[in-house]
Structure 1
Amino acid sequence: MTEAPPYPQKRTCPYEPPPGYQEIGERGPVLKVTLFDGREAWMVTGYRESREILTHPNLSSQRTHPGFPIVAPRFRSQIARSLALIAMDPPVHDIYRRYLNPHFSLRTVRGMRPQLEGIVSGYIDAIIDHGPPADLVPMLAVPLPSLVICRHLGVPYEDHDFFQDASGKVMLGTEEESATAAQDLVDYIDRLVAAQIKEPSDGLLGTLVRERVIPGDVGHDELVSIALVLLIAAHETTSSSLALSVITLLEHPDQLARIQEDPARLPGAIEELLRYIATTDLVATRVAKGDIEIAGHLIREGEGVLVSGTLANRDDQVHSRAHEFDVLREDTHHLTFGFGIHQCLGQNLARLELEVALHQLLTRVPGLRLAVPVDELPILGAGTVQRVLRLPVEW
């Protein structure tokens, strides 16, 4: 075995970890890995250890720290290293979360269900009218979360092609593509915020202008950074999770049949999908701002720390039959949305989008199946968001 295995590695199957992660998992729950630039960082792969370290007071999200681990060249840009919320520690992080939490609460999201059901119904109508084969990436997985977050934020949906393309490049492009796309998005949102300050709309951006910018709690540039994070995070992860969920269900027809027998099983099945797929390979990229003792290891101040959702979600010390996909599983607890103060702000909305989209797709398009073998589906992403570029289906 290598002293510090390479990380990240590419998937060869949309819903399974890369083959090399077996060694990393066996070496866990805490070990060192080697990043693309030759630097080493600590990786936490155990479920319990991940929860422990994600609440440790000496774990920092400050991406400008010289010891912060960068897992791909595209994350070296200034914008990527200064993102609101994601690259912040308390107390500023907690203040921003307090401003945003009510707008993504379970109560708020539940109130969005009728609108969301109508949106999904329109996309399914279009898929049925189109007829097989149909590519679910451009016909459902990509536009659905884009339209939902546009309406929630108050962003003009006619600009969705631009920010879908830009957000994809930020997360999965080359270093130059990512930096350019991030700046394009910042410039675009900067103009939106300026317009909202002149005449606030009813969306979340307008609400934050009235409640936080005008009173002086949040500055113009701060709101731009917040909106950038919300726009990218809400689009990329949910889009990929939906596509990967469809593939996983279609490749496990016995599990799909269980949902079709009783649609009330769908919410539990979604938790199992979130555990099993782990769309975002890492749930945390951090740096130690003080020494941390964990699982018999000493992580020293200034050393980088990665937390692997993919491996923590399949920890056989916590999950029985950890590598099996079982929609009736009771131990579906997972770290896909993170843990602790940085737990995903939009998780309630993501769950609802997955539930409504999968319910309508599976009930209104019976006999759904992949139009090509799963190993021919193009996969993009390593160490960040796993994305399927095409998803052709028949029925």
Structure 2
Amino acid sequence: MAAPAGRTLPIPRTCPFSPPSDYAELREEEPVSRLGLPNKDEAWVLTRYDDIRAVLTDARFSSDVNLPGYPFFTPERPSEQPIQLLIHMDPPTHGEARRKVISEYTAKRTRDLRPRVQRIVDERLDAILRGPRRIDLVAEFAVPVPALVMFEQLGIPRADHAWFLSTNSLLISGLTSEADRDEAFGALSGYLMELIEKKEAEPGDDLLSRQIAKNKESGTYDRTWLTGLALLLFIGGSENMTGMISLGAMALLRHPEQRARIAADPSLTPGAVEEMLRCFTIAELTMTRVATEDVELGGKVIRAGEGLVALTNAADHDPAVFPEPDVFDIDRPARSHLAFGFGAHQCLGQSLARLELQVIFDSLGARLPGMELAVPFDELRYRSDDEGVFGLAELPVTW
């Protein structure tokens, strides 16, 4: 079946609070459909919440990027890398690898991280308040805060922070050539491999050091696997969080009555964070799979070897699950959203992400209560999906 005329992925967003109108049309007319990709391939595309949840728990759909037919959003097929990331593993390898590190994200360990996250947020706000009363909240806050959390988590020395951030940006951008992406991947993985080797000899108080000790004790230590884990955690814990912080701050500035309620009653912040996650669902294009056998779904047959894209942003705006989905409402019971995925590959660090966002928005409300947009809403610039993760390119604010 050919792709619907004129429709290819990714489809640009025209409003940050709602998905492209094409998503609603597809969900109503053809919720399981074929769309084109930038490399001229085609893939099955899902837009309905129930279909997407079903696929993300179906072992007949593989996450292995090296399988023929796996969908990509770059003009060229990416090179096969020697280090396999956790999100691209299938059972039983995926489950075994995930169990190695799941202890880092228990409820207790996440709670124990709150003082560290609060310190990082406070130090950044201290610096902001010492400077001019107009800043770009993306550059001055949304980029450095989550990056600093992950640098501390992984034990990456401060002198290497700027290089690591810039190289990581090259790696995730869809505008980067495959040759440059391979170079960035090699540079980051080589750096992390050396860092891990140093921590084998001189452990510190960080996730990598704990994983080295734990896996050596169990006889399952694998430096290559740990390198891939560190790279994945940094990408997920920095770029995705930057997008969510910028968009969440923008949402509260656009809805001052809801912002005031959160400032007056911090018990509302967790619910507000869930609504932000649902509303923006920024990492929607990461839910890609390839069928390993023929599967019937929504009246269509997806053949073995055909790629599939589960548009979780469309799912999180499915009116059958979330009434008035384009309305930002902090009172909405939104925790069933798919912003962190679903099933075995659900985001490993989601508990830390929730903690960070709660600390960040409580702290912004308390310390910058008079913050407001410094430019009209219609003049805000957004990052395209081609640039990596959806979010604001900049957020000029004053107070």
Q: TM-score range by the shorter chain?
A: over 0.9
Cα distance change of structure 1 residues 304 and 82 upon mapping to structure 2, 3 Å threshold: farther
Out of 321, 325, 345, which is 1:318 matched to? 321
Alignment match, 2:63 = 61
Out of 294, 298, 302, which is 2:301 matched to? 298
1:260 equivalenced with 2:263 (yes/no) = yes
Aligned amino acid, residue 397 of structure 2: V
TM-score (norm 1): 0.94
What secondary structure is seen at the aligned counterpart in 2 of 1:393? strand
Alignment match, 1:76 = 78
Unaligned stretches of 5+ in structure 2?
Answer: none
Alignment match, 1:166 = 167
Alignment match, 1:191 = 194
Out of 53, 58, 70, which is 1:51 matched to? 53
Task: Compute the displacement of 1:332 (Å).
Answer: 4.4
Matched positions, count: 394
Q: Partners in 1 of 2:168 and 2:180 — Cα distance?
A: 11
Task: Compute the displacement of 1:306 (Å).
Answer: 0.8
Task: Compute the displacement of 1:316 (Å).
Answer: 0.7
Q: Partners in 1 of 2:84 and 2:325 — Cα distance?
A: 34
8 Å CA contact 1:283, 1:337 repeated in 2: no
Task: Compute the displacement of 1:82 (Å).
Answer: 5.3
Aligned amino acid, residue 93 of structure 2: V
8 Å CA contact 1:154, 1:203 repeated in 2: yes
Q: Partners in 1 of 2:77 and 2:40 — Cα distance?
A: 15
What secondary structure is seen at the aligned counterpart in 2 of 1:202? coil
TM-score (norm 2): 0.93
Aligned amino acid, residue 358 of structure 1: F
Q: Partners in 2 of 1:201 and 1:74 — Cα distance?
A: 40
Alignment match, 1:8 = 10
8 Å CA contact 2:45, 2:309 repeated in 1: yes
What secondary structure is seen at the aligned counterpart in 2 of 1:76? coil
Q: Deviations over 1:236-257 (max 9, x none)?
A: 1111111111112112223323
Cα distance change of structure 1 residues 112 and 74 upon mapping to structure 2, 3 Å threshold: farther
Alignment match, 2:395 = 391
Q: What are the within-5 Å matches in structure 2 for residues 57-206 of structure 1?
A: 57-73=59-75, 76-79=78-81, 83-172=84-173, 173-175=175-177, 176-206=179-209
8 Å CA contact 1:5, 1:32 repeated in 2: no
Cα distance change of structure 1 residues 74 and 210 upon mapping to structure 2, 3 Å threshold: farther
The CA RMSD measured in Å over matched residues stands at: 2.0
Cα distance change of structure 1 residues 288 and 134 upon mapping to structure 2, 3 Å threshold: same
Task: Compute the displacement of 1:216 (Å).
Answer: 4.2
8 Å CA contact 2:167, 2:188 repeated in 1: yes
8 Å CA contact 2:19, 2:317 repeated in 1: no
Aligned amino acid, residue 285 of structure 1: T
Q: Partners in 1 of 2:189 and 2:19 — Cα distance?
A: 33
Q: Partners in 2 of 1:19 and 1:161 — Cα distance?
A: 38
Task: Compute the displacement of 1:215 (Å).
Answer: 5.5
8 Å CA contact 1:31, 1:43 repeated in 2: yes
Q: Partners in 1 of 2:102 and 2:76 — Cα distance?
A: 29
Larger mean CA deviation between 250-259 and 184-193 belongs to: 250-259
Task: Compute the displacement of 1:391 (Å).
Answer: 1.5
Larger mean CA deviation between 10-19 and 84-93 belongs to: 10-19
